[in-house]
Chains A and B, each alone.
Chain A
């Protein structure tokens, strides 16, 4: 089944203000940067964004925050974004901070047809407030519910016309689970190849989870913390 769309404009058709979006990536690594820029152009507002991080002030989801397009963020860590912290502390932005492993599993559960699950993460903290607690093997666990989204937008290294995806190194992160949890999943890829070119043994995300795929026009791939050691 051919999932290819011409460009980012076609890929993001149907995204409207007020929708819930999942966006893959960890920090600036593996984020769908072409799609984020297109969301800025579209000017859609009141978005609920589910993403591990919120980008930096002038890249990634920071671009949407600058334009005040986001109403609510569901994330685990937002430390690198001053504008985010300002909007959150002033109450302009609703923020739901949840443990990273719970965020990953809630997305996976959403895509896997599991409505909720118990995890020990967050027990005894404010994350557990209002959540059902149950003891398993003598240890308290809290009930966490699945997450889904109107659109999931992911970024892969390689993809084929069937929507099969392969990720590179740690740019995989949240992308596979989010691809599963989107009612419509859009994949932007660095390399788009004909069906049959990718070895089926090494597909990370099977095409069944992807509805639209396109080759990103340009990937800046900004590095957040450039750490190096000296050549001898």
Chain B
């Protein structure tokens, strides 16, 4: 071009043009939800057994097909469900006169290709309608990532306290250095309870280590238990549907809540999509989760969001996978937990798909820390966006489970968490947290504001801690001894949750009075206007009153 058009020169510099886009490429599975290679729906049952599913005879089933046929498909309802025209089924999903319970009675009779065929009939607004009606828990909730690049414990505890104080019912951490896992888990356990009693905390690391920490009472739930939609990728992830089902029961046997993780794009990214669309493969992951008897799933592409994000209709497919999860009556922690675009406009548009209808956890990892400290590679929104989120809730009268706070309140809970952590370190034999660290953690924006610790010393102490056989009860004793009676009571309260097992049920969260709210006693009963969760009354009064709003009386 000899002469540039000036508007195009400006557009070229826009954030969205730093993103990568690709045209559909069916042969490698770079297609959101409509590949010509996706199987046609069909199901044959003989003597109560699935003998053919989506055109594949059982002799040719791979491991995943076998698991789905054996554990997920309900042969008693299959004939009735499969006979319903896909378009009619899709209409039921948005029809306010058809209850969620009736839909969920039929869905276990559907094959993966049939569920795909139903979802393909729906646009994003219809998918949001379905989510609003079908998500398992009535009250939406939210989850935050709490991590930092230095794995510095006082800051982790302070950030956890701020996160739970702001309203996140679940907090997830991970590590910069793998061996820090137990220390980071303890920081979230303590900080989470300082900010709000009943907060569930987890530490995402390798499967066996993650289970071990749960067994010691250092975490309340687990989430990073990955499943995949093709055999080869599953095995490359060093598991099978059976090993994962076994692991699921192992968690429940220790009274620990657990959900699986999957997401569109993971199979393409790992090179074995078998020419299938991303959503088709993801539906298989959801059905594996259901078949394993796990209560819920984290999906919404998760760490592979760049892949569906690059193809046409990809973000619609991501919403569709969240809907498929609730359709199968599973808790959904609905993504929005990884940066996928340079464009703030795209970022927020993607998040609205879950925020507007409400999900069990709108974000399965809102970055409760600045994104530079987010060890999950950054979320769509971070701690610098808190006020934007509060205003969005207020603008739209729509709840993402966050609440307005004051600077004084946040300073107080951050400081208390850092001091509680300091006390526990002294008792369990970890290298001291200095007063300087407590002060820095209280007022920090992120780890840039924290002094460095002696990492080799920390890691040696963590090894000792693991060998010592210490458990969550030692944390309780340490807190109590140093005057943090209320925090000690709360940590013990979380340990006691594992005795009753109430929070093993679908979509369970624990409120500030240690009452479990799940899909059983807080069942979503949406059937149109005037039903389901409504942001009103006391909660709406709370969310209206952001500190920035001026009051006419004060003028």
Bound pair (A, B): no
